[in-house]
Structure 1
Amino acid sequence: MKAIILLATLKNKGRSNTEALVEFIAPYLKQQNIEYEIIRLASQNIVPGTYTHMNVKDDWTEIYNKILEAKILLFATPIWWNNHSSELQRCIERLDEVYDIILEGKDSPLDGKIGGIIITGDSDGVEHITGNIANFFCSIGVTVPPYSSLGVIWEGHAKNSKKTKTQLQKYYQRNYAKDATSLAESLKKAAK
């Protein structure tokens, strides 16, 4: 069973709270025999648009094909001004063509896929973003099972925080191990 994780940090390299949370969750996915690939969106060339296939050369077609091959699709995003990141929004916009297919009365190419949501922030916004992404997933044929989101709000995620990756991992392990287990188990159960 394969998962594609779209890592929507705004950083193309260096310390990222969202990347640290994805790395924390990864062993829980492995325990459920879920293989995964992390695609760091900020390191990809994804042009703006609302179609999967456009007359441009960028990385979206390859990413979309990986989504089609996977059983599980995870969106991992930081919170910026009570919203998901602009990197994730660009992917949502490029997936709009899937919704066009559904409006034509055809089956979604993403039918049967299982969706999950990973969010980091320092003050608020998790419920709002989770609801928006879950709504989007449902609109394009991706199933969102119970317990398939993990949002961590903590002042240690603040923009100017100097927390190391090790400190982040210890905090997640101490406070979110049960949630990570539930997330991985729910994804596996729904994907069967």
Structure 2
Amino acid sequence: MKAVILLGTLKKDSLSNTETLVDFFVPYLQAKNVKCEVIKSVEYNILPGTYTHMGAGDAWPDIFKKLVEAQIIIFATPIWWGNHSSETQKIIERLDEVHDDILAGKESSLANKAVGIIITGDSDGSQHIIGSIANFVNALGMIIPPYASLTVQAAEHAKDQKTSKEALMEKYKKEYATTAETMASQLVEFGSIK
């Protein structure tokens, strides 16, 4: 079984709370024999647009192929002003052609993929983001299992904080291990649906 994590952090070269939470979560999937690939979108040349193929130099077609081959897809995003990141929005926009295909009577190329959502922030807003992403992936024929989100709003995530990765990992292990284990189990179970 394969999982692709679409990491929507805005930080290319510095510590990212969202990337740290992904690093915390991935071993829970790996313990269930899931091969995981993290795609940090800010490191790729993903052109703006709403089609799978947008032109020369576009990294999206190769990323999209990995999504089609995976059984589990995870959206990982920070909260910015009550919404998911612009990197995550760019990915959502590039997946729009799958919806076009469905409207044209074709089968979704992402049907029955199990979807998880990982969110970090220093204030509330995760419910809105989960609802928005859930609505979108549902329209593409994907499945969001129960208990398939891992959200952490914490003072340590505030923009002006410089919390170390080690301190964040310790917090996650202490407070979110059960949530992560449940999420991983649910994604594996639902990711087995054909």
Which residue of structure 2 lines up, in the alignment, with residue 180 of structure 1?
A: 180
Which residue of structure 1 lines up, in the alignment, with residue 69 of structure 2?
A: 69
Q: State the alpha-carbon separation in 1 of the partners of residues 161 and 182 from structure 2.
A: 28
1:19-62 deviation line (CA, Å, top 9, x unaligned): 00000001111111111000001101011101011233210011
Structure 1 residue 94 and structure 2 residue 90: aligned?
A: no
Structure 1 residue 143 and structure 2 residue 180: aligned?
A: no
Structure 1 residue ranges (4+ consecutive) displaced by more than 3 angstroms after TM superposition: none
List alignment gaps of at least 5 residues for structure 1. Answer: none
Q: State the alpha-carbon separation in 2 of the partners of residues 141 and 127 from structure 1.
A: 21
Which residue of structure 2 lines up, in the alignment, with residue 12 of structure 1?
A: 12
Structure 1 residue 134 and structure 2 residue 164: aligned?
A: no
Structure 1 residue 158 and structure 2 residue 153: aligned?
A: no
Q: Secondary structure at the match of 2:130?
A: helix
Aligned residues: 192
Q: Secondary structure at the match of 2:37?
A: strand
List alignment gaps of at least 5 residues for structure 2. Answer: none
Superposition RMSD in Å: 0.7
Which residue of structure 2 lines up, in the alignment, with residue 35 of structure 1?
A: 35
Q: State the alpha-carbon separation in 1 of the partners of residues 55 and 177 from structure 2.
A: 44
Q: TM-score, with normalisation over the residues of structure 2?
A: 0.97
Q: State the alpha-carbon separation in 2 of the partners of residues 10 and 80 from structure 1.
A: 10
Q: Secondary structure at the match of 2:54?
A: coil
Q: State the alpha-carbon separation in 2 of the partners of residues 14 and 62 from structure 1.
A: 25
What is the percent sequence identity of the aligned residues?
Answer: 53
1:119-168 deviation line (CA, Å, top 9, x unaligned): 00001100000010011110111111111111101010000111100000
Amino acid in structure 1 at the alignment position of 2:43? S
1:53-101 deviation line (CA, Å, top 9, x unaligned): 1233210011001111111100000000000000010010010000000
